[in-house]
């Protein structure tokens, strides 16, 4: 068996949790003061879950999302993603993990203004050296999933906010990532368009995608299947939506 095949097989056979955060601490140093943005976070997320991480402003959501998204590494503790220890990776290794394993959706869509929608969606495939025809084919498939393939030639400023965010969802999907990470994905949208985007995320989850959604909004979090609540850098609740509702009420 050649090495490549062996590697693919061992990845396919990995059966542990998709995400393991083990006693994660993140400290920011500002002059003489230390800010404990994450303080002993332990969390496991399995493949196929739809988890919302909810917390007030300043509670440490972006810090943990940056770690989960391989945008930053913890000060101490371990982050294991699909069996790989990400916590000690260098910038190049982190960039590879981000490109191959994670699809990002941000509040502000982050589409390139001078590129047509199809090129924006195909962009993450460029780094893998895929040919243009195949990139475009996959981009169109991703656009179809969020029902916006008819706008493939539009520039971002020729689309509504909701349409741009659907484009961003397509871009997050196009590499077939292990994890879709959405940071306040409905934060800039009106309530009707928010429902539409959340429905697409739910649909993608039903199709087997793992989704982690960061929000400060309870009604958004309750669209997930599991809610993790964070306060002062620590997890204070982890359970189902029903359990969360009971806890909030009582």
Ligand X SMILES: Nc1ncnc2c1ncn2[C@@H]1O[C@H](COP(=O)(O)OP(=O)(O)O)[C@@H](O)[C@H]1O
* Interface ranges with ligand X (CB under 6 A): 28, 30, 35, 37, 55, 57-63
What does DSSP assign to residue 114?
Answer: T
Q: How far is the CB of 174 from Mg ion (least distance, A)?
A: 25
Whole-angstrom distance, CA of residue 122 vs CA of residue 58? 34
Q: How far is the CB of 232 from ligand X (least distance, A)?
A: 9
Which residue, judged by CB position, is nearest to Mg ion in the bound state?
Answer: 62
Q: How many residues does the chain have?
A: 250
Tokens for 122, please give them. Answer: 């195909």
Q: How far is the CB of 76 from Mg ion (least distance, A)?
A: 21
Tell me whether residue 108 or residue 199 sits nearer to ligand X (CB atom).
108
Residue 118 exposed, middle or buried by CB count within 10 Å (0-12, 13-18, 19+): buried
Rounded to the nearest 10°, the torsion over CA 134, 135, 136, 141 is 90
Q: How far is the CB of 35 from Mg ion (least distance, A)?
A: 14
Tell me whether residue 49 or residue 184 sits nearer to Mg ion (CB atom).
184
Instruction: Determine if 59 is a binding residue for Mg ion (CB under 5 A).
Output: no
Q: How far is CA 32 from each of CA 28, 35, 83, rounded to the nearest angstrom?
A: 11, 10, 37
Selected range binding Mg ion among 61-69, 82-90, 104-112, 132-140, rule: CB under 5 A: 61-69
Tell me whether residue 146 or residue 213 sits nearer to Mg ion (CB atom).
213
By CB under 5 A, the count of residues binding Mg ion is 2
Partner in contact with 58, chosen from Mg ion, ligand X, none, beta carbon below 5 to 8 Å by kind: ligand X
Whole-angstrom distance, CA of residue 169 vs CA of residue 84? 25
Whole-angstrom distance, CA of residue 38 vs CA of residue 173? 29
Tokens for 30, please give them. Answer: 């500002």
Q: How far is CA 47 from each of CA 15, 25, 170, 188, rounded to the nearest angstrom?
A: 9, 24, 20, 28
Q: How far is the CB of 220 from ligand X (least distance, A)?
A: 14
Q: How far is the CB of 172 from ligand X (least distance, A)?
A: 20
Q: How far is the CB of 209 from Mg ion (least distance, A)?
A: 23
Partner in contact with 103, chosen from Mg ion, ligand X, none, beta carbon below 5 to 8 Å by kind: none
Q: Which parts of 131-160 interact with Mg ion (CB under 5 A)?
A: none
Whole-angstrom distance, CA of residue 219 vs CA of residue 47? 24
Tell me whether residue 29 or residue 191 sits nearer to ligand X (CB atom).
29
What does DSSP assign to residue 223?
Answer: T
Tell me whether residue 61 or residue 171 sits nearer to Mg ion (CB atom).
61
State which of residues 59, 62, 175, 194 lies at the interface with Mg ion (CB under 5 A): 62
DSSP 35-62: EEEEEEEEEEE-TT-EEEEE--TTSSHH
Please report, as ranges, the residues that interact with Mg ion according to CB under 5 A: 61-62
């Amino acid at each position: 068996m050649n090495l490549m095949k062996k590697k693919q097989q061992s990845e396919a056979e990995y059966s542990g949790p998709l995400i393991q955060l083990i006693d994660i601490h993140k400290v920011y140093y500002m002059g003489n003061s230390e800010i404990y943005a994450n303080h002993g976070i332990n969390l496991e997320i399995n493949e196929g879950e739809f988890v919302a991480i909810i917390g007030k402003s300043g509670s440490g959501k972006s810090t943990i999302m940056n770690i989960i998204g391989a945008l930053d590494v913890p000060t101490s503790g371990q982050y294991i993603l699909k069996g790989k220890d990400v916590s000690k990776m260098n910038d190049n290794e982190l960039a590879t993990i981000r490109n191959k394993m994670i699809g990002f959706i941000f509040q502000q869509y982050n589409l390139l203004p001078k590129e047509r929608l199809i090129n924006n969606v195909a962009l993450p495939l460029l780094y893998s050296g895929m040919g243009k025809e195949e990139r475009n084919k996959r981009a169109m498939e991703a656009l179809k999933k969020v029902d916006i393939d008819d706008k493939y030639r539009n520039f971002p400023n020729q689309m509504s906010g909701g349409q741009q965010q659907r484009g961003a969802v397509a871009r997050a999907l196009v590499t077939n990532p292990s994890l879709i990470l959405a940071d306040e994905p409905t934060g800039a949208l009106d309530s009707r368009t928010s429902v539409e985007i959340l429905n697409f995320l739910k649909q993608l989850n039903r199709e087997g995608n793992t989704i982690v959604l960061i929000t400060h909004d309870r009604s958004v979090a309750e669209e997930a299947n599991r809610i993790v609540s964070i306060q002062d850098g620590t997890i204070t609740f982890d359970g189902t939506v029903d359990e969360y509702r009971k806890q909030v009420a009582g």
